[in-house]
Structure formats: C-alpha cells, structure tokens
Amino acid sequence: MTDANPIVKGDGVMAASGAAAPARRKGVGRVLLVGDDPVHGARLQSMLAQWNMDVELAADGHDAVSRLGTPDRPLPDLVLMEARMPGLDGVAAIRLVRALPLPACDAPIVALSASASAEDRAALRAAGADGCLSKPVDAAELAQLLESGIAASNMPRRSTLRASKRANRLRRDQAAALAALLRSLD
C-alpha cells in the first residue's frame, strides 16, 4: 500500500492519507477488541485511541464471552472480533454472545477476517456478526464503519425484535385459544 491509502504503520501511527477521524457519535466510545495477534491488536488500539475511543482488549473468544457475560461490567458500544483464533474462534464466540441474556446478546459485533471468501463472511453473518472488515483493517473503512451508526446506541436491538416476535406469537396463540373456547361453547 502507499500513503495514498489510509493504513496504520508499524509504529501504530496513521499514515498521512486524509482519512478523517470519525466524529464521535453518541454512545460510541467503548470498543472491545478481541484477538490473539498482539501486533494487529496494537495497531487497531492505536488507531481507535487516536479517535478518542476507549479500547478494552480480550485475548480470545473465551475471554470476550466472559467479559460480555459479566452482568456488572459495562457493555462496549462495539466489539471488533478476529474471525480466526485458537481455541474458541470468532464464529463460535459470536454464537455464544448471541445466546447470552440481555443486554449482552445485543452487543454489535464486527468480525475481522483475513479471508475475503464469501463463505467465511456468510458464516460470520449467520453466527450473528453485524459486519465484517478485511484484515489488515483500513483506517478509512473503520472510520466509515464507525460513522455508519453500527454502535450499540444506533442499532435496532435484537432483543426488541425477538420480544416483538414473541408477543406476536403469544397474541396468535391467545386468539386461537379464544376461538377454540368460543367454538366449544356453541
């Protein structure tokens, strides 16, 4: 890559590329960065810190699920998770996060993948990832992602959608039971 493309150099300093820092959106500021690659993690952490984001590191999928599943710990506004890690990989970790109780299951998760294959991205989406970024992460793409409103305060909640579906099922079941009761009275 050249300096015309926004990159993070080895020392963690963003190249002079004109990539503007994303405006800090309401509710955007806490990022949980999950991965086993310390060099890539340090680069992303440096980039996010330049944009005044608070970054918490999780070493792997198990660590991330544990942190997100701790009730007294504040939830991050965004989770950036490596797709491939030893032990619990990104797909499995995302599935476990989505199975956690509220509000943890609603954490917005963006997968980070060195693979650009459609199958890998589809597997991450099917597991519950809200988005995917290719590695190495491009500063402009990350800024665009943050500006897109993917952070927690800007996303429709899965739990709200699930509750709405449950309420609709309950109404249908109650209507069917009432109809059956009325038929039995005739």
Task: Say yes or no to pLDDT of 177 above 90.
Answer: no
Task: Say yes or no to pLDDT of 22 above 60.
Answer: no
pLDDT tens per residue across span 86-145? 989 999 999 999 999 888 888 999 999 988 788 988 999 999 999 899 988 888 888 888
- pLDDT: is 150 or 102 the higher one? 102
| Exposure string for 138-175, b = 16+ CB within 10 A, e = fewer | bbbebbebbeeebbbeebeebeeeeeeeeeeeeeeeee
**Residue 11, burial from CB neighbour count under 10 angstroms (0-12, 13-18, 19+):** exposed
Assigned token pair, 178: 């009432």
Task: Say yes or no to pLDDT of 150 above 50.
Answer: yes
Q: Domain locations in the chain?
A: 1-155, 157-186
**Percentage of the chain surpassing pLDDT 70?**
73
Mean of all residue pLDDT scores within the chain: 77
Task: Say yes or no to pLDDT of 70 above 60.
Answer: yes
pLDDT for the residue 23: 52
- The CATH T-level fold of domain 1-155 is Rossmann fold (3.40.50)
pLDDT for the residue 145: 81
